[in-house]
Amino acid sequence: MLFLSAALAAQQKPAALPAGYAGAAACRSCHTERTHSFQANPHAAAGAVLAAERQAGRPQVAGCEACHGPGQAHVAAMEAAGGSDAAVEAGLRQHPIGSFAPGSAEVLDSQPCLGCHQGRRETEHFAHSTHADNKVVCLSCHSIHAAQTVRTLLRAAQPALCYQCHLAQKAQFNLPFHHRVNEGLVRCSDCHNPHGSFIPTQLRTAAAQDLVCFTCHEDKQGPFVFEHEPVKTEGCLDCHSPHGSPNPHLMTVANVNQLCLQCHTASSFSGAPGTPSFHNQATQFQACTLCHTQIHGSNLDPAFTR
Amino acid sequence: MSPTHKLASGRIVRLGLCACGLLLAAAGQELQPSSGINWRGYNVQESTAVGARSAVYNGSASNYDTLVNLQSGARLYDFSLGMRSLQPAGGLFDSFSLSGFGLGGDPNTVVRLQAAKGRWYRFDGTYRHDRYFFGYNLLANPLNPASSNPALPVTTALHNLDYARRMGDYHLTLLPEGRFHIRLGYSHLAESGPSFTTVGASMAPAVAEVGTTTQLFQGYATSTDLYRAGFDYLVARRTRVSFTEVVQHTKGDTAIEDQNLLYQLSNGTPLDLGVVFNTGGGTPCAAPIANAATTPPTANPACQGLISYTGDQRPRLTMPTEQFGFQSGYFSKLALEGLFSYSSGVNSAANSSTAWAGLNTRLGALGNTTSGQDRAKRVLVDGDLAAVYQITPKLRLSDDSSYNSFRLPTQFGFAAVNQFAQGGGAITLLTPAAVFSAATCPAPYTAATCPQHSASAPADAAQGTALEYLGQNLATETVQLGYNPSQRWGGQVGYRYTYRSIYDYAAVDYAAETFDPGGATGALAAARGDCALPKGGTFPASLPAGCALQADGAVVFSGQTAASDASHLQAVAIHGNSALASAWARPTPQLRINAGVEAFTADQAYTRITPRQWQHYTARVQYQPIAWLQLNASGDALESRDNVAEVNNRNHNRNLGFAATLSPRSSFALELSYNYNNTYTQALVCYAFTPAAAGTSACPIAGSPVGLGSLSTYSDKSHFVNADLMAQPLESLTLRFGVASSFVNGVPLFFNLSGAPLGNFLNPLTPWGPLRFNYQQPYLSLNYAMTPHVAYRVDWRMYNYFTHGNQSPAGLAALGGQNFDASDADFSIRFTM
């Protein structure tokens, strides 16, 4: 709101304000507490604001009015009110300023933020993100003046913030086998870009445009001489539940053999070979992965045993 | 509250904490939140929490370590240091922060460093270290029967591992606010530690497989270095182009070795009889122990076993990737962005090798040595383009186009040598290996010193190249029309077309695959494998093409094996169509409703469980009737199927969740949530089960290599409840307690074996495994601020993993319990500046 540092910079090198703007100093005279607490806000960095304004192609307005809009009329109305509540209310009605109150147009729209942030790499996808499609806007997750995280200005830290809407994922991350999101080792935003991506479910990619899973599980990335083809063509989710599972190794089913047999049963259209007759399950149960240990791919054996 | 009251309350609490064995310093200062100190032009804030943890657990230690793995000891629980310039421009940095948690032995350690100086630079660094322990013994357990003699249950996980993973990500942006940004980055990932794997049968070309399924020690070591450099350039108003070069270098240095030599031969040679003990079924043999009185026990040499097994692979991957991107808002109504990548890399190992010595009774083989060179190439082309056109303020059209294509041509040049036993009696682990030569094995090749070849024995020696190829083209086009008539509601409809084609081939090209003669059939023994005679054929006239009889009696095959397919044909082409719709509504500022559906249909599937149709329904409601109460509800249902008759695959995942958050005042908050999830999958599967059990049915799929088949199903239903209460009875005292509990009830692997004992499992001895359990995690924390700068904190958390059902079915050698309950208590003092 109040870009104090920008204002200070402006004081050092005065520049004419565009018509209708009052300047941050005018805001500070009434909204003192907000001004003080705003010093630690990343938006207080003058250089960032001014440069972003330049990038946005707008007048180089820094400080509160960069987000709240021109305030000269608002300031004049408040001065004219002279402390009368009725006059203040009347002045606000006549000369409204971006209030960001619950339900206001500003809160329901990401444009005030995207004016500066859309050009950033992290947020460039937002216009066609799933969140944007569902009217989950910037201020649904971020709070400029009451943030719980210092740098990203989130309303709550991950994963609690994400769990507010994604209730299923909260349950999944509390199952015995899960990625360590609750423990803080992994963040939701390590795998997903909440501002959107080219991939469904707003997934990120690994460095070489591979599945994001390979960012940490690089030993499954290959390329292998003998690829287990579905790993590359279907992805990891045919066999694993990514957030959490009752089953070890986040498998989609409890028994390895059931998982294998679902594909490795001869059929007219699938290239996956059927289970051979010497795999007699009656004499001795053996999990497929007892022999086929290199199931994600092998450099030595087409059956992934070494 | 008066200062006197605060102090009295503080003393009472401290007395309680002293009873816990900790003496704390007295407190008396006014309690105010710390705002740091100003130092040399910076506001500095610091916080450190140090203390110790007491972890006590009963039951399965390996499961505790797999699921929790918090141990006792002193800890630096967390720390943070923040510095912010008091002037618009600081010195080396305007802002600096260093924070982390979990130091001193916790399984999860994270340290983050951030620094920035206005328009000059921005640095983000993260270092993560985690211990990854897995010791859940029901997975890949051979379930040795109690009737075996000896009965040896596998009570620890055969694929036990204890890895340490270190991840570092460091990003530096120069001139972050300028028209021209420079981005530099480096990431490092290393994973290493002791682990175990298993080995059994092999399908590698010309390799005599081991006859014993056993556990191998694996010294696991792999690491990746990732270098990034790039720039962003603001070429026009709200239009940016970028280029990034990424170079990935990955290396693996994993070596494996058989250390499971728990027995000996009569000559004192250490021996591994494997991990599967079912002597009634002949594994490793009917009577594996010849003398149990020796140390270690002396094994029956007629058994299958391993005297040694080693493996070594050191692959190296270097993969550069170029990425070109752009993003533009130049036109007020049109937003454009694109990303195009090209990546090409080779994963190669100059000398991979495996070797074993022992006995495979089926093949009469005493060992194998295989070495070779791996070379796997990967080429990836990826392009994404998105456009959003705001037709009117209320109407917008968006289009996403994606193309992804990869090619994986690979090869393995190998040399394999197999050893076979001499004749003259039953082949045992003590039988010497035969050497084929004119002196030791003259015509007619039936001498006892000749290698004894069975009809299924692989070649004696082979040199060749295995060639593989996998490629996929994936193109997706999504068009959506959005209509937002007001700030109250809106929605969009769309259509997505997907085209996917997959190509593959596999071939083995032998330079020389040598089949020596020897054994009961003499010269004819050389006509086996790729040189086996056709039915009714005569030797050597009927040898298959590519096979040539040598002067020494050996038959050498060269060329591609019959099973090879190097035709590079398209394996499958899949056309998919999706209809998309979603809507949102905010009838009042306090109520938000979202709903969406996507329905997909395809004309083909690549795997049997790749759905040809699926529908995904989602709905979310958020309601805040009053400022301190927020209610959330969500529903999610994914229904999918590959419902052709020969698969009959159906799946669903249905989820329903509710949450309520109450925070009537800053000193009290309550959060309640409940979630229900139901997962179901079914598919027709066929398997070998001889002799057939009652209730089994024939595989209905024509051409199946195995005789039995039925519908396999899997179902799990889970209930998750969570309650979290925060209360601040005193300004200096914060209490928090709650519970997170999962209750899971499922049915695995249902084969309709209605007559089989103990239910309906493929193997009647299979325990319920992970599908019937309660996992409860109650917790309590107390935070007492003794001074504005010192706080004392106690955290207690309980973990209770309790499985239901029969964990030791009759007939199964006891596996040990899966349950555990643990109590972890953390005592810490936080210093804040």
- Interval A242-252: pLDDT, tens: 999 999 999 99
Give B454→chain A minimum CA distance, Å: 17
Q: Give residue B761's pLDDT.
A: 47
Cβ distance of A184 and B687 shorter than 8 Å: no
Interchain contact, A198 vs B375, CB within 8 Å: no
Q: Tokens at residue A5, please?
A: 């540092």
Q: What percent of chain A clears pLDDT 90, i.e. is strictly above it?
A: 37
Q: Averaged over B783-806, what is the pLDDT? A: 92
Contact call for residues B155 and B137 (beta carbons, < 8 A): yes
According to the model, what pLDDT value does residue A61 have?
58
Q: Is B15 helix (H, G, I), strand (E, B) or coil?
A: helix
Which pair of structure tokens corresponds to residue B713? 């199903």
Q: How many CB atoms lie within 10 A of CB B538?
A: 10
Q: Which residues contact A29 (CB under 8 A, 6 or more apart)?
A: none
Q: Is A174 in contact with B102 (Cβ distance < 8 A)?
A: no
CB-nearest partner of B675 from A136, A170, A247: A170
**CA–CA dist A141, A126 (Å, integer):** 13
Beta strands in chain A (DSSP E): 177-178, 226-227, 244-245, 297-298
CB contact under 8 A, B224 and A218: yes
Q: Over range A171-199, report the average pLDDT.
A: 95
Residue in A180, A175, A165 with CA at minimum distance from that of residue B717: A175
CB A168 within 8 A of CB B634: yes
Residue B832 to chain A, least CA–CA distance (Å): 17
What's the pLDDT tens digit per position in A1-38? Answer: 333 344 333 444 445 667 788 877 788 888 887 777 77
> What pLDDT digit, counting tens, does each position of B418-476 carry?
999 998 888 999 999 999 999 999 999 999 999 999 888 999 999 999 999 999 999 99
**What one-character DSSP code corresponds to residue A39?**
G
* A102–B590 C-beta distance less than 8 A: yes
Q: What is the mean pLDDT of chain B?
A: 89
CA distance, residue B455 to nearest chain A CA (Å): 16
pLDDT of A95 over the 90 cut: no
pLDDT at B806: 67
Please give the model's pTM, rounded to 2 decimal places.
Answer: 0.91
Question: Which of the four pLDDT bands, split at 50, 70 and 90, describes residue A39?
Answer: confident
In this complex, do B606 and A230 lie within 8 Å of one another by their Cβ atoms?
yes
With beta carbons under 8 A apart, name residues in chain A contacting B306: none
Query: Do the chains contact at A257 and B749, CB–CB below 8 Å?
Result: yes
Chain B contact set for A223 (CB, 8 A): 317, 345, 347, 376-378, 408, 410
Q: Which of B480, B608, B719 is the best substitution to test chain A (most A C-beta atoms within 10 A)?
A: B608
- Cα B322 to Cα A98: distance, rounded to the nearest angstrom: 43
Task: Name the least confident of A11-20, B184-193, B194-203.
Answer: A11-20
Question: Cis before residue B284, ω within 30 degrees of 0?
Answer: yes
Contacts of A200 in chain B (CB under 8 A): none
Say whether B276 and A284 touch across the interface (CB within 8 A).
Answer: yes
Q: What dihedral angle (degrees, nearest 10) is formed by the CA atoms of B520, B522, B524, B528?
A: 60
Asked if B558 and B546 touch (Cβ cutoff 8 Å), the reply is: yes
DSSP B640-656: EEE--TTT-EEEEEEEE
Phi, psi of A220 (to 5 degrees): -95, -5
Chain A residues near residue B248 by CB distance under 8 angstroms? 207-208
Least confident window among A56-70, A199-213, B344-358, B715-729:
A56-70
| d(C-alpha B338, C-alpha B327), whole Å | 6
From CA B831, how far away is CA B526, in angstroms rounded? 80
C-alpha to C-alpha distance for B71 and B106, rounded to whole angstroms: 7
pLDDT at residue B96 tops 90: yes
Looking at per-residue pLDDT, the higher value among B525 and B3 belongs to: B525
Give the pLDDT confidence score for residue A109 in this predicted structure: 76
| Å between A304 CA and nearest CA of chain B | 8
Do the Cβ atoms of B817 and B59 come closer than 8 Å? yes
Please list every residue in chain A whose beta carbon sits closer than 8 Å to the beta carbon of residue B177. Answer: 47-48, 50-52
Q: What is the pLDDT of residues B685-698, one digit of tens each?
A: 888 877 776 667 78
Q: Locate the chain A residue with the closest alpha carbon to B671.
A: A164
The alpha carbons of chain B give a radius of gyration, in whole angstroms, of 34
Question: Residue A31: its pLDDT value, please?
Answer: 84
**CA–CA distance, B768 with B764 (Å, rounded to integer):** 11
Cα separation of B635 and B657, whole Å? 6
What is the number of other CB atoms lying within 10 angstroms of the CB of residue B418? 26
Write down the pLDDT at residue B749.
57
Distance (Å, rounded) from C-alpha B235 to C-alpha A205? 26
Which residues of chain B neighbour A229 with C-beta distances below 8 Å? 470, 502, 504
Distance in Å, alpha carbon of A51 to nearest chain B alpha carbon: 6
Long-range contacts of B598-602 (CB under 8 A, 24+ apart): B598/B496, B600/B496, B600/B576, B601/B576, B601/B577, B602/B498, B602/B574, B602/B575, B602/B576, B602/B577
A286:B400 CB<8 A: no
Q: What is the largest CA-CA distance in chain B?
A: 109
- Containing B375, the helix (H) or strand (E) segment is strand B365-390
Residue to test with chain B: of A36, A219, A280, A284, most B Cβ within 10 A: A284
Chain B residues with CB-CB distance to A257 below 8 A: 749, 762
The structure tokens listed for B424 are: 């003259």
Tokens coding A186 = 């992994």
Note whether A167 contacts B657, CB cutoff 8 Å: yes
Are B737 and B781 a contacting pair, CB within 8 Å? yes
